[in-house]
Amino acid sequence: MAPLPLLLQQSWQELQRVPFNIPLLLVLFSSLYLFKRITRSKPNLPPSPPKLPIIGNLHQLGTLPHRSLQALSKKYGPVMFVYFGRAPTLVVSSADMANEMVKTHDIVFSNRPKTTAPKILLYGCRDIGFAPYGEYWRQARKITVLELLSLKSVQSFQYVREDEVAALVNKIHDSCLKKTSVNLSEMLIATSNNIVSRCIFGQKFEEEDGKSKFGQLSRRVMLIFTAFCFGDFFPSLGWIDVLTGVIPNMKALFKELDAFFDQVVEEHKTMKSEDGQANKRDFVAILLKLQKDGMLDFELTQDDLKAILLDMFVGGSDTTSTALEWVIAELIKNPNIMKRTQEEVRSVVGNKSKIDLSDINQMDYLKCVFKETLRLHPPVPLLVPRETSASASIGGYDIPPKTRVFVNAWAIQRDPAVWERPEEFLPERFKDNPVDFRGQDFEFLPFGGGRRGCPGLTFAVASIEYVIANLLCWYDWGMPTASVDGKDLDMSEVNGLTVPKKIPLHLLPTLHAPGSIH
């Protein structure tokens, strides 16, 4: 065997024979490494429509974004990547892609973008709807669902719904006696506001003209939430929102809201409980008691409490009145369906002077009408935007972190690949159909789904079904002008945080059963 120094010498001599090959190999391997890094760093993004410099695809949103984005998705696919200014945005427009997003990557897609309006109006996004995904959000949502929005809690507030619907019925009764038309849209907004206000605050805060004081504030919130903020799309241009007055207006509204909530909370803290009234406690009282008794697993500051209360009021009142408005509008436009629904309701109620919860549970066709209305007219057609907290893959495409995500429920619920004759109002499609709106069927998402699904679903449904049943039971409805029938009813929309009818419902009620109104 050769000694070790000799072996080393031979090896060195061999290396000296190929001096050019070593640097060549180094260059080759370095090039391969860099090529792989470059190809890996370029994500496989979903298809995207052409964008303009600076503004990106903002010009393609139109006055009704859910419709504009549906039209674009038909050309570019069910997952589409757009740029709204400097904000990269994913638009999901199919049930399959929504299913994959929520079931496979729900945690990654559970964050919210921190935009200007919720940061200012919701105490830095300390509510439930816009709070970042994390421990605070989980605890706040948990206590809200368990203590305020559970089925038991919703049923305990049935007396509020009965009181406010009775007041609505009596107002309509007075119009019947005078044979005058009513602005039903306005009445439905007032009734929804009153129900939610009493459940949350324990009172209605009505002005002398009968309008809700806080209802006026909440409508201003809805409008200003949809105001265009340069800072949301061009972060370096946020100063323009100060010059245009958007941010000063938001801050002025916030001061009004904050003072109102402080007053409500202080009144509740000094209020003495009445024996036997525990089942009539409002949301503020329930949260304050949990806070006082140390029953919360997290710190709930007064600002947190106020953010949650505003969240619940705005989310519960406007969406409810919008859904109610569209139900009646579709029934006016489809008189045969109206007649069938009324026959069912009146058959169930019989000679009783009051509709009970047990009656609602027997009104199967009414529930089909409600579902079909939510399919065609989801109150929030573009679900509240999410934001990716990490990279993810949807439909084989790469989605970068910090991407805003819109699920176009309106487009999904009118998809001809899923729904037969999707543009027609056909309540029968839900008869003996297991598809429901509770977030498990991704072709039908009016309340969203996954971790960020609407926690107030049960509360909203209870109010809507009860109001509709009463309106259909005690009255017949028609257009105020004899020459105009339901087929001529204007069904155009107006964009906002919710999408109500552009033209309010002015209808002529006729008393169906005088002996049943009291």
Whether residue 368 is annotated as binding a ligand: the answer is no
Q: What length is written for the chain?
A: 518
Give the chain's radius of gyration (CA, Å).
Answer: 29
Which residue has 């421990």 as its token pair? 135
Residue 292's contacts (CB-CB under 8 Å, 6 or more residues apart) are: none
Tokens of 338: 């109206």
Query: How many angstroms separate the CA atoms of 272 and 265, rounded?
Result: 13
C-beta contacts of 4-7 below 8 A and 24+ residues apart = none
CA–CA–CA angle 436, 437, 440 (5° rounding): 75
Which residue has 């974004």 as its token pair? 65
Give me the amino acid identity at 355.
Answer: I
Tokens of 501: 């009818």
Tokens of 277: 């009234």
Which residue has 């706040």 as its token pair? 140
Q: 415 vs 69, 78, 444, CA distance in Å? A: 13, 10, 10
Tokens of 302: 């007064």
In 396-517, which ranges are continuous DSSP H helix? Answer: 409-412, 457-474
Query: How many angstroms separate the CA atoms of 172 and 178, rounded?
Result: 10
Chain centre to alpha carbon of residue 143:
20
Collapse the DSSP code of 282 into the 3-class scheme (helix H, G, I; strand E, B; otherwise coil) and give the result: coil
What does 144-205 look like in DSSP terms, one character per residue?
A: HHHHTSSHHHHHHTHHHHHHHHHHHHHHHHHHHHHT--EEHHHHHHHHHHHHHHHHHHSS--
Residue 213's contacts (CB-CB under 8 Å, 6 or more residues apart) are: 205, 206, 207
Give me the amino acid identity at 155.
Answer: Q
Would you put residue 111 in left (φ > 0), alpha (ψ -120 to 50) or beta? beta
Q: How many C-beta neighbours within 10 Å does residue 89 have?
A: 22
Give me the amino acid identity at 470.
Answer: N
Residues in the annotated binding site: 454
Binding site residue list for heme: 454
